[in-house]
């Protein structure tokens, strides 16, 4: 449950951080979903170790595929897709994982971020992840996914994580194994989230007039 404290006319939201997980896997079970869950779990653990309460929302884009297509045709998001977008934009951090098709992110993954206003993710801390059938696809993280989110001016963690067939089920906890990489990326996301200024909104009755806001921008 959220609690609020009034400080000098500003209502500060209690220290609950939210992570939104976006995964574009098509199969069930999906390796993209498994990687996304691990990244979110590691980020959550690092935040909780810092004494922060965490809530995680997971969205599988295959459930929104029709709504995403309708958004392109109709020009606006249906209510269910709007709810997903609103949750992503309100999150303190995002985990975004796509399968790699034809050496790049999936069309479904790209289409979801295409329907989000292109300035809405500015400064948003994000972990990027990808899965594929060959280790050769790992470079897609750097020449496809990272440039996309740099264009959107999100704050992407230094570590992005690719998981191929050899990464699953082998219990690899060695240095630079999958568990090590997801832990490092999760730690980086947690650090970026903790560096953000606390979410604030004006207390009731304390809204600025248009003249006051104009004076602030011109002072």
pLDDT, one tens digit per residue, over 121-178 is: 999 999 999 999 888 889 999 999 999 999 999 999 999 999 998 887 655 555 578 9
99/132 Cα distance (integer angstroms): 6
Closest CA to 22 of 177, 129, 169, 154: 129
User: Strand pairing partners for 56?
Assistant: 19
Contact 189, 40 (CB under 8 A): no
For the chain, give the number of residues: 219
End-to-end CA distance of the chain: 39
What sign for the dihedral angle of Cα 104, 107, 109, 113?
positive
Contact 61, 112 (CB under 8 A): yes
Report the pLDDT value the prediction gives residue 76, as an integer from 0 to 100: 87
Report the pLDDT value the prediction gives residue 39, as an integer from 0 to 100: 98
Q: What is the pTM of this model?
A: 0.81
105/84 Cα distance (integer angstroms): 20
Structure tokens at 217: 């921008």
Q: Which domains occur in the chain, in start order?
A: 4-218 (3.40.50.360)
- Per DSSP bridges, beta strands 93-101 and 200-202 are unpaired
Contact 130, 100 (CB under 8 A): yes
68/79 Cα distance (integer angstroms): 11
Between the alpha carbon of residue 52 and those of residues 15, 40, 191, the distances in Å are: 6, 14, 12
Q: How does 111-142 read in b/e, with b if 16+ C-beta sit within 10 Å?
A: bbbebeeeeebeebbbbbbbbbeeeebbebbe
- Per-residue pLDDT in tens (0 to 9) along the chain, 219 residues: 333 333 344 334 457 999 999 999 998 889 999 999 999 999 999 999 999 999 999 999 999 999 999 999 988 899 999 999 999 999 999 999 999 998 899 999 999 999 999 899 999 999 999 999 888 889 999 999 999 999 999 999 999 999 998 887 655 555 578 999 999 999 999 999 999 865 443 333 344 444 444 444 444
DSSP reduced 3-state for 95: strand
Closest CA to 128 of 18, 42, 23, 17: 23
């Amino acid at each position: 449950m959220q609690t609020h404290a009034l400080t000098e006319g500003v209502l500060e939201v209690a220290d609950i951080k939210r992570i939104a997980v976006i995964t574009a896997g098509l199969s069930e079970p999906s390796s993209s979903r498994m990687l996304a869950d691990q990244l979110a779990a590691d980020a959550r653990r690092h935040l909780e170790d810092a004494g922060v309460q965490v809530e995680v929302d997971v969205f599988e884009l295959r459930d929104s595929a029709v709504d995403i297509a309708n958004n392109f045709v109709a020009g606006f998001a249906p209510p269910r897709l709007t709810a997903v977008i609103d949750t992503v934009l309100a999150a303190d951090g995002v985990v975004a994982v796509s399968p790699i098709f034809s050496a790049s992110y999936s069309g479904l993954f790209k289409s979801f971020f295409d329907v989000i206003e292109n300035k809405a993710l500015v400064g948003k801390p994000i972990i990027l992840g990808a899965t594929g059938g060959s280790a050769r696809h790992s470079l897609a993280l750097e020449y496809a996914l990272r440039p996309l989110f740099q264009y959107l001016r999100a704050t992407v963690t230094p570590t992005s994580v690719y998981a191929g067939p050899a990464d699953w089920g082998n219990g690899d906890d060695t240095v630079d194994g999958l568990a090590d990489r997801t832990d490092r990326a999760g730690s980086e996301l947690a650090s970026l989230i903790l560096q953000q200024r606390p979410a604030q909104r004006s207390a009731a009755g304390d809204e600025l007039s248009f003249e006051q806001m104009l004076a602030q921008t011109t002072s």
